[in-house]
Structure 1
Amino acid sequence: MAKATKKQALGRGLSALLKETSSDITSANDKNADKVVGNIIEIELDTIEVNPYQPRSYFNEEALRELASSIKELGVIQPITVRKLDGNKFQLVSGERRFRASKLIGNKTIPAYIRIANDQEMLEMALVENIQRKDLDPIEVALSYQRLIDEIDLTQEEMSQRVGKKRSTITNYLRLLKLDPIIQTGMRDGFLSMGHGRALINIEDTEDQLSIYEKIIQQKLSVRQTEQLVKALKEGGSTKPKANSKDVEVPKYVSKGIKTFSEYFGHKIDVKISGNDKGKIIIPFHSEEDFNRLKKLLQ
């Protein structure tokens, strides 16, 4: 218990020191910088601005509320990382979900690891940190790699060392950016996997890419079936995928009619055919708000 009290007192002392000397600390060589930079300090949320270099463009609202509930019960277990700006201002390097969730429940402060970094270092830290995340979609990862190349001027070999990934892995991600934007959007929305995307890259003609993309969505093709379709197209043969014993061909009336469903609900609607004119219509949703919107359409 004594240790916990001491830790809290230390935190208050550092926070007070930060307020007193904030405008004077602009580099790691400044007076008292060693007591602030590199330490975890409780800072006010209102003094933090979001990271303009954040590669993520979408934050799942339901997951954010779940995190907020956890923070309300247990507090912020892992501090965010910020860089110090002029005066008593800071900018997020990593931890935007924790930052947003803390604001969501009305918290005034958050534990933060203080760093000093220039814009280039800031961008590199943010991109590398985000690439390590497991919940990024393949296109977000690819865009992060591309920004490291364009804005930090890293070669693929240098990037491989920085992010701890094989160069071939980085190359495979970057190739996804050559796909038609519609297909890239489909990957971001989870309608097809990176494996599907890698198969489609081998098709140069955009119309052929989109044609097979539609087949993947409508017929729920596996990566293996997609590869077979691409191979058949390149060899000038049939573009009809080989069906597995469990696969059932989608009737024409369904493949035509499903477009009407998709337009009505504002989503790509999936169908699962079980045979004998039987099947299921699957309506996806991406947040609580989206679910409520779909519910109103059905009422």
Structure 2
Amino acid sequence: MVRKSLGKGLDALIPGVGNLETRSIQEIDVQLIHSNPFQPRIQKNDESLEELAESIRIHGILQPIIVRTDGIGYEIVAGERRWRAAQKAGLSTVPVIIIEEANEQKRLEIALIENLQREDLNPLDLAKGIQRLMLDFELTQENISKRLGKKRPTIANLLRLLDLPQEIQGMLEKNQISFGHARALLSVESQDLKIQLSERIMRENLSVRNIEEIIHNLKEETEETVVSKSSKKKKEIKIDQKDSESSFIEENLTRYLATKVKIAKKSITIEYYGDEDLHRIYSLITGKEEPF
């Protein structure tokens, strides 16, 4: 069974490709089809491919593969995952639509758009693909949002993921943290603090709401410090060396412990958000894993 529909991005790239009444769907031997060696690569997920193969065993291919003739057979323009999954499912033929009118650059663009429309795509891979569309094909965020069927702010937020430290990008790529976690970390200015907070997300299995609350508290503390300093300056109150050192230590402890720290006269307050957080702070301060 073949579903008579294609992604809206592909329809925009190849005029008429979405109208299957004017396009002939043919069954082609899988052995006559080969991948495009220059097709943009997206991180492979064997488990996801196996799931697609199982779906194809039950329901068949729901969307035809787009190919072109190249003298030795048929080169895939869009649908390589479906072709690979079909082979895993044991199919001998697959439904295809043959196109010839797209030039090489347009075929690469089509392949990339098709990859980016996958529902199981890692957000970092999606961000890299969007960046490539902008750099290689000179598409705007508005163009891309229309072709991928995503809102423009979503495109902008995905691109911002590429500004995260490599350590955090690696966590996101391995699905150790979510897009929501990463988006929350983008609001933190310090790169070192971003990394500390990302490690804390993994270690304590924090939800997006948890990390947003922690970041909010850290920002609140920073704002209070800034307002306090500004107020003192306006009143022309001289800050002695001890107060300056206390403020410096307070800020550094906040970064090191990745939690809210307050130093007052003869006291220090360290906030924590549960038993695991308390043990984490204890380990950082004492160098010991457990208190007992």
Q: For this structure pair, what is the TM-score category when the shorter chain's length is used for normalisation? A: 0.5 to 0.7
Q: Distance in 1 between matches of 2:152 and 2:58?
A: 42
Describe the superposition over 1:54-99 as per-residue Cα deviations: whole angstroms up to 9, x where unpaired.
44221233x43344344345543432222x1421422223322321
**Which residue among 103, 123, 128 is the counterpart of 1:118?**
103
2:114 aligned residue = 129
Q: Distance in 1 between matches of 2:59 and 2:130?
A: 35
Q: Distance in 2 between matches of 1:181 and 1:94?
A: 30
Q: Distance in 2 between matches of 1:73 and 1:190?
A: 28
2:204 aligned residue = 219
1:108 aligned residue = 92
Larger Rg belongs to = 2
Residue identity over aligned pairs, in percent, reads: 39
**TM-score for the superposition, normalised by structure 1:** 0.63
**Which residue among 209, 230, 235 is the counterpart of 2:194?**
209
**Which residue among 133, 141, 161 is the counterpart of 1:176?**
161
- The alignment status of 1:60 with 2:87, answered yes or no, reads no
**Which residue among 81, 89, 94 is the counterpart of 2:78?**
94
Contact 2:79 2:114 in 1 (8 A): no
The 3 A distance-change label for structure 1 pair 201 and 133 is same
- The alignment status of 1:45 with 2:30, answered yes or no, reads yes
The gaps in structure 1 that reach 5 residues or longer are: 5-27, 29-36, 257-276, 278-299
Give the root-mean-square deviation of aligned CA atoms. Answer: 3.3
Contact 1:55 1:144 in 2 (8 A): no
Describe the superposition over 1:240-297 as per-residue Cα deviations: whole angstroms up to 9, x where unpaired.
37777xx5425648x97xxxxxxxxxxxxxxxxxxxx9xxxxxxxxxxxxxxxxxxxx
**Which residue among 184, 187, 190 is the counterpart of 1:199?**
184
Deviation at 1:178, TM superposition (A): 0.5
- The alignment status of 1:144 with 2:148, answered yes or no, reads no
Quick one: which amino acid aligns to residue 192 of structure 2?
E
Q: Distance in 1 between matches of 2:166 and 2:112?
A: 22
Count of residues in correspondence between the two structures = 221
Quick one: which amino acid aligns to residue 276 of structure 2?
E
- SS of 2:27's equivalent? strand
Contact 1:177 1:184 in 2 (8 A): yes
- SS of 1:211's equivalent? helix
Quick one: which amino acid aligns to residue 44 of structure 1?
D
- SS of 1:154's equivalent? coil
Deviation at 1:110, TM superposition (A): 1.5
**TM-score for the superposition, normalised by structure 2:** 0.64
Contact 2:272 2:278 in 1 (8 A): no
- SS of 2:26's equivalent? strand
Quick one: which amino acid aligns to residue 94 of structure 1?
A
